[in-house]
Every structure is written in structure tokens, then in C-alpha cells.
Amino acid sequence: MKNWITVSLGWLVLISLHGHLLAAPFVPERNAQVVAVSRDGKLVATGKSGMSNSEFPPRPHPTVRKCALIQIWNAQTGEMLHRMQSFGDFTQLKFSPDGKRLASCRLFSPDGKLEMSEVHVYNVATGKTEHVFNRCHAFDFAPDGAIVVLSRSKCVLYGGTSFTKQAVYEPLGRSLTVAITADGTRVMAVKQVAEGFCIRSCDRKTGKLLTQSPAVPHPFYQLVVAPNNGFVATGHRDGTVLLWRQEELQPFTRLQASTAGRQFPFISPDSRYVGAGNQTSGDVVIWDLTSGEQSGRMTFERGTFHTYHPRNRTAQIRPEDDPARFVFMPDGATFLAGCFGGMIRSVNSGQELKRFSY
């Protein structure tokens, strides 16, 4: 008799060579909180939030299906190239413009008070750590490979290989998130002000404050910059996506998703399409900006995700609830989502084309 495996009612059932019935609980693939794709489309990365070992100093949980994981995959074959273990909630994951580095942002607090967040930079070829920015909670790569990082009180630009400090942007200190424009000339951040939350833009070279947007009442945590430098997209908890003109930081388009809840915006490489992923359900809507019409709408059977930060549910600032888990592939005809561990789907048909799992 040959060994065989079947999945039934959430259990893994095995028949041994001696005919004995064995059973073990079937653990489904976790959804990824963050996803990334290299500019050439050859590599995909996924980040799954997870538990620590509940000790101090903390380490990843010893069980691989419970700890946080960053995985680098061959986008064409689906082969896993590297796996790095961690703990806490991932909110960002990005390849450097040359594809040689992968950076992640992880939030972690063992008791809800002590913040041990970090921005972690990995070497893509080896999977090894290149640099860690401790107590930092957001980052972005510049076109030349430099990296801007937010700590609790400062916004600092570092060299992409030496990681030496290049500039400090005082007007962007104590911000929620940060982004660099596609041409690399401006650094922008979401800042809390007396009226609510706004976008601020600084000159990258001088650090001078250039523009500040009108404020909105509730926090938002992602700034998605259009590749053509024309606009910036932000997602909000009322089910809307706002498009802001990059120069003036004035909103010019309001896109309403089909379902309520916070939206994560993502923009196609040609800046023609804007997608919105619902952070509660995983539902995705895609708009064609040339016509103003919806060009696609799709759902995911498993579109939710789990957070680990012991934050009070009434807390206003909750960046772990808005991770970067949707992104267009370089061809613009497909997109990558964190659902089911990570999958590529067609924009036009919604067909699943590739799934990334253990």
C-alpha cells in the first residue's frame, strides 16, 4: 500500500504503510500583510506578520507557521529563494530600484507601551541583513537607491549602500508615513496637525517645506506616488481614495470603492489605472483614469488579515491596520495581492495566474 494524503474537513489524513490511520490538523496558508515586486518583474516578495517567542529580548516564534516571515520568490516559477524569520506586524515591503535590496517595516510592542519597531534592509542575493534602522516605523526608496526613514521624531535620508546620513527634514518629523516622488526631488509625509492629518512636501536637497495639503479628520498611513509624477494617492477609512496633484497637494479626484472600509491604493506603472484594496475584506476595485470608469472589480475568498500589536481598539493611530498588501506588476495587466499567502491576478479577467506558498 502506498502512502496517500487527503484533506477533509480541515484535517490532514494519512494512511501509513502499515494501514494505520493518522491525523493532524491542516493549517491553511496565511495571508501576507505586505507584498512587493522588483522593477523588472522577476522577483516577488511577501511578508506575513507573526508572533514572537514571548521572551525578552524577543525572538521569532520557534514555529515557522506562527512567526513572522519575509519570503523572496521567483515570480515566474514560484520557487522560494529566501525566507527570513521575524515577529510583529509588517506594514511596508519594497525592493530598491536596482533590485539588489529589499526593505521591510515591522511594528512591534511586547506590552503595548515599549515600541520596538524597525526598518530592516536585506541583501536580495543572499537574504542576509545589510542594515537595521531601530525604532523606525516607515521608509521609502529614492530613484537613486537612497532610503528615507521615519523615526519617532525625525525624518532622515540615508545613502543606499553606505547608510550614512545625508539630510534631515525637520518639517516632516513625527509623521506617520513617508514617500519620495518618482523623480526623486521631493520628500512627502503624512503629518498630524491641529486640524487633523495632512500631506507635507519638502525639497529633497534643501529640506525646505514646499507645500501642505488641506487636512482630513482621520489618520491615513500610505502615500502612493504615481510613476509619472502627476499625482499622489491616499486611501481612507470611509471607503474612498483621494488623488492629489503632486505639485499643489490639492485633491482633484475622489474615487468611491464598492465596499465600506479602509482602502489601500495602488497605481499602475503607466499611471493610467488606480486600484483600491479593501483592508477588511480584500475586495479590489480598479479604475481607468482616462475614462473615469471602473475597469475591474474582484473579491478574494480569504481577504482578511490578522494583527498582533496589543493596541487598544479605541486608539486613533493604528498603522498596522493599513499594510501595503496590493501592488501592480510591471506589465500593468496583472497585480499582486497578499491574499492566500500571495497571488498574481489578471486585471481584466480577475483570473488567478500564480500563487506563492510554502
Q: Going residue by residue through the chain, which has 358 residues, state the pLDDT in tens, using 9 for 90 and above.
A: 333 333 333 444 444 444 444 444 445 678 999 999 999 999 999 999 999 999 999 999 999 999 999 999 999 999 999 999 999 999 999 999 999 999 999 999 987 778 899 999 999 999 999 999 999 999 999 999 999 999 999 999 999 999 999 999 999 999 999 999 999 999 999 999 999 999 999 999 999 999 999 999 999 999 999 999 899 999 999 999 999 999 999 999 999 997 889 999 999 999 999 999 999 989 999 999 999 899 889 998 877 888 888 787 778 889 999 999 999 999 999 999 999 899 999 999 999 999 998 7
- At residue 6, the pLDDT reads 34
110-129: buried (b, 16+ CB within 10 Å) or exposed (e) per residue?
beeeeebbbbbbbebeeeee
**What proportions of the chain, in percent to the nearest 5, are helix, strand and coil?**
5, 45, 50
pTM: 0.91
Closest CA to 275 of 331, 335, 318: 335
Residue ranges, comma separated, of all CATH 2.130.10.10 domains in the chain are: 31-355
- At residue 1, the pLDDT reads 37
DSSP three-state, residue 160: coil
The architecture of the domain spanning 31-355 is 7 Propeller (2.130)
- At residue 7, the pLDDT reads 35
Calpha distance 329→8 (Å, rounded): 35
Calpha distance 286→295 (Å, rounded): 6
